[in-house]
Amino acid sequence: MMRFIFIAILCLSLELLQHRTNAHDDAYCLLRGEPVPKREDYTYFPGVGGYKLNRVKKTWFDARVACEEDGGHLAVINSPDEAHSIVVLFKQAEEIHGFLDVAFCGFHDLFREGEFLTIHGQSLERAGFDIWHESQPNDIDNSQNCGGVHYGGTFNDLRCDDLYEFICELPDVDENDAFNLRSSKWKITAFITATKTIMARFIFIASLCLSLELLQHRTNAHDDAPCLLRGEPVTERDDYTYFSGVGGYKFHHVNKTWFDARLVCEEEGGHLVIVNSADEAQAIISVFKRAKKIHGFRDVAFCGFHDLFREGEYLTIHRQSLEQAGYAIWNKREPNNFDNDQNCGGIHFRGTLHDLKCHSPLEFVCELPDAADYSL
Ligand SMILES: *[C@@H]1O[C@H](CO)[C@@H](O)[C@H](O)[C@H]1NC(C)=O
């Protein structure tokens, strides 16, 4: 009986540890700053998140950066509950600073007119809330491409370059416990050491917990999917070439704008290729070689990064900087923003990066997760 309880506790601890690590991994969407446990200047709504209505006006682009510097992001509304929290936030701010009608939040249609995406790349429907203010979005003057939220919790489209107050979001405090991981690293090291000793004595426990962790890992691989807009992640596709431990790739022999290419990849359950390592660049080189055999020499193809948010600030479609993504090797004399009009990412047959015109149709490479991640 004691042994059973011990196993249960050990496995639970491992799962909790796993959970913490993953919460930390979720932070990959953030660009700047370290995620913080709790900030005094944020108002927390249990089970929802922490919010700050910044009463200093900024462009949407600068607001985005300011929130990231706090360790968070422009507020993304994922549920009616969260919209209600925003309403409360506006009311609280009104008591202190006076009435405010609308503030920037974390969505835009900068990629394609009328296709509103959160800054994490989800459609508003997928994000969980898409209730617009009366007669919105109206894209006044064809120039409203950034997201706003009204004091009543409904959405509006606003001009990105106009100055507005803005709402930043930090994860709920409970989740934030995960971010204390760093400071309590010694505890975990001690824990792991103890675990190792115990595992040597009870091999069967190790196997049991390993299975649990693998199961957990499998679930998490699927959890990564929220960054995708369309299609379900698929186990394995015959039309993709898989590189073990790296991913599956498909060279699309059809010319599309970067925006359309992005959607085609998502419809296949994946995304425009993002190079995360030198190994992955090698895989892309092989993909090009294969394409050459079938279609003739190909010089360059679209891949999954852009600087549409801010000139010269290259981000993957999952919002990481290239450095954070793990690969930032440019081709010679690139990026050059040729004609002041190259804001979309390309990859050269040699595995180096390019900036390209988003609207000039080009072939492209899509990526699916490594099949092994899904084959459990
Ligand atoms: C796509 O455009 C490039 C450059 O204009 C061209 O070389 C290539 O043959 C085109 N590919 C297809 C599939 O039409």
pLDDT tens track for 115-137: 999 987 788 998 899 999 999 99
Same domain, 49 and 81: yes
Q: Whose CA is nearest to atom 13 of ligand 1?
A: 254
Same domain, 23 and 86: no
What pLDDT shows up at residue 245? 87
pLDDT tens-digit series, residues 168-217: 998 876 544 444 433 344 344 444 444 454 454 444 444 444 444 444 44
> Domain with 281 in it: what CATH number?
3.10.100.10
What pLDDT shows up at residue 17? 43
Q: Is the CB of 255 under 6 A from ligand 1?
A: yes
E strand or H helix that includes residue 283: helix 278-295
**Number of independent structural domains in the chain:** 3
pLDDT tens-digit series, residues 138-163: 999 989 999 999 999 999 999 999 99
Q: Whose CA is nearest to atom 7 of ligand 1?
A: 298
Q: Whose CA is nearest to atom 3 of ligand 1?
A: 362
252 Cα to the center of ligand 1, angstroms: 11
Q: How many CB atoms lie within 10 A of CB 69?
A: 12
Integer CA distances (angstroms), 356 to 72, 200, 283, 323, in order: 30, 55, 21, 19
Phi and psi, residue 219, nearest 5° = -60, -40
- Residue 232 counted as domain residue: no
- Tell me which of 257, 295, 363, 364 to substitute to probe ligand 1's pocket, judged by most ligand atoms within 8 Å of the beta carbon: 363
Q: How far apart are CA 68 and CA 64, in angstroms?
A: 6
Counting from 1 in the atom list of ligand 1, the atom nearest the Cα of 255 is 1
305 Cα to the center of ligand 1, angstroms: 21
Read off the tokens for 269: 């359950």
- Tell me which of 255, 292, 357, 360 to substitute to probe ligand 1's pocket, judged by most ligand atoms within 8 Å of the beta carbon: 255
- Residue 235 counted as domain residue: no
- Residue 234 counted as domain residue: no
Q: Is the CB of 254 under 6 A from ligand 1?
A: yes
pTM of this prediction? Answer: 0.59
- Residue 89 counted as domain residue: yes
362 Cα to the center of ligand 1, angstroms: 7
- Residue that finishes a domain, picked among 158, 192, 225: 225
pLDDT tens-digit series, residues 263-275: 889 888 889 999 9
13 Cα to the center of ligand 1, angstroms: 55
Counting from 1 in the atom list of ligand 1, the atom nearest the Cα of 253 is 13
Same domain, 61 and 104: yes
Q: Which domain holds residue 285?
A: 241-373
In sequence order, the β-bridge partners of residue 166 are 54, 104
Q: Is the CB of 253 under 6 A from ligand 1?
A: yes
Q: What does the H/E/C string look like for 38-55?
A: CCCCCEEECCCEEEEEEE
Half-sphere exposure of 324 (CA within 13 A, CB side): 18
Read off the tokens for 223: 């959890």
Q: How far apart are CA 367 and CA 277, in angstroms?
A: 14
113 Cα to the center of ligand 1, angstroms: 26
